[in-house]
Amino acid sequence: MDEKFMKEKPILPLILSMSLPMVLSMLVNSLYNIVDSFFVAQINENAMTALSLVYPVQNFITAVAIGFAIGINSIIAFYLGTEEYSTANTVATQGMVFALIHSIIITISGISIIPFFLRMFTSSEIVIDFGVRYSVIVFSFTLIIILGGTFEKIFQAVGNMKITMISMICGCITNIVLDPLLIFGIGFFPEMGIEGAALATGIGQTVTFFIYLVNYFIHPIRVRISSQYLTFDKKIVFKLYFIGVPATLNMALPSVLISSLNAILAAYSDVYILILGIYYKLQTFLYLPANGIIQGMRPLIGYNYGAGEYKRVKQIYNIVLCMSSMIMILGTIICLLIPGQLIGLFTNVSETIFNGEIALRIISAGFIVSAVSVTSSGALEGLGKGIPSLIISLSRYIIIIIPTAFLLSKILGAVGVWNAFWIAEVFTAIISFVIYHKTIKEH
């Protein structure tokens, strides 16, 4: 596959060809998240609350998988742009080895800490039991998640977005189909309850990984993973972690945010913890399509940056910003028009639906402006600028929102937490604009 089209094809068609497969796969993935939670909610609210509490740890595992792989993706795209193909192979091979090591450490750590983690936020033994039973199975698939995420970014680095789309869609559909079968014991399937939801998730992720693996060997790509490239290169290792660690932290910060907000909301009622969990399930349907466009943008920016096409880099950023903004506008309209129906997908308790409507309407005020920070952070990662990207994410997920949520909760109660979201988005957008354009001017 000749990846030179990334610097020769007209920009808008190029972005669409790279992004639309990812947007489609992200939309399916978003649908999976909602359907998965919908079926778990049918068990009872305790099961749904357990999923809300486990979510930050799940998100952290995904952050390690995708975050480190973003470093691999960015560096491979850069060296393909400079036509240093052997170095790109070395990056892919060393990156895969480190991904394997990460997966072993995280599997053991995740299963070990989850009981203690859950007790930090709830005293309900029923919720803790649901959370532990779900987590042990889900975390057992960490190796598959991380290696699958690494293959995903390697395929994207060479511009092969269709395989990524097919793999993710097949995994998500498998998950959606198996959810009711394994949770409720339909047909010859055993009734497993919340463990069934966890197993369906793991099997879906395994299908995704298997498709990557088969395609890698049947349809070879420019980048190869081989023992001949397994030489310890300090320069490459440094670059992998220099980009990968900030990218991982970028994706892991929502876990810190959710856990912190759970701690604040726990002082009022478990209902608000449930609402926060429902919101994060719903917002994936909005932000994952936008992130699909960002994923399509990263290799384009990295490749053109490596090829010295700085004007194209700026044009790519501007077009992606407009596309992300359009998605956010649509999400805002939906949340303002039918918040009750959205919350009602996960609970039939009137108090929860009423408070959830308030939360969605307030939080959605920050959706549109968040396009600036989301696009800028992704563009900086594509350019290999991990630290500036991390600064944006720290502003968005930690520095502004957590203190604001704490202070406003003392004044307005739980509603103050919801207002902290749009306040953080506005200030982060300003910071993102300054950081990105300052970085671009340096080149």
Asked whether 386 and 71 are in contact (CB, 8 A), the reply is: yes
> Which backbone phi and psi does 183 adopt, to 5 degrees?
-70, -45
| pLDDT for res 330 | 93
Q: What is the percent of the chain where pLDDT is above 70?
A: 96
Would you say residue 179 has pLDDT above 70? yes
| pLDDT for res 353 | 93
Taking only the tens place, the pLDDT of each residue in 405-427 is 999 999 999 999 999 999 999 99
The count of residues in the chain is 443
Taking only the tens place, the pLDDT of each residue in 109-163 is 989 999 999 998 888 899 999 999 999 999 999 999 899 989 988 988 887 878 8
Residue 410 has which token pair?
A: 């003392």
| pLDDT for res 33 | 65
Distance CA 182, CA 190 (A): 6
Residue 193 has which token pair?
A: 């309850």
**Cβ atoms within 10 Å, residue 350:** 10
Look over the chain and give the mean of its residue pLDDT values, rounded to a whole number.
87
When pLDDT is averaged across residues 79-108 and rounded to a whole number, the result is: 90
Taking only the tens place, the pLDDT of each residue in 254-263 is 878 988 999 9
Distance CA 413, CA 264 (A): 10
Q: How confident is the model at residue 32 (pLDDT cuts 50, 70, 90)?
A: low
When pLDDT is averaged across residues 361-390 and rounded to a whole number, the result is: 90
| pLDDT for res 289 | 82
Would you say residue 245 has pLDDT above 60? yes
Would you say residue 51 has pLDDT above 90? no
Cα→Cα distances 230→65, 97, 100, 153, 225, Å: 20, 9, 14, 19, 9
Residue 39 has which token pair?
A: 């079926």
DSSP, collapsed to helix, strand or coil, labels residue 345 as coil
- Is the pLDDT higher at 34 or at 357? 357
Asked whether 234 and 92 are in contact (CB, 8 A), the reply is: no
| pLDDT for res 101 | 93
| pLDDT for res 349 | 87
Distance CA 267, CA 270 (A): 8
Taking only the tens place, the pLDDT of each residue in 271-297 is 898 899 889 888 877 787 888 888 888
**Domain limits of the chain?**
7-441
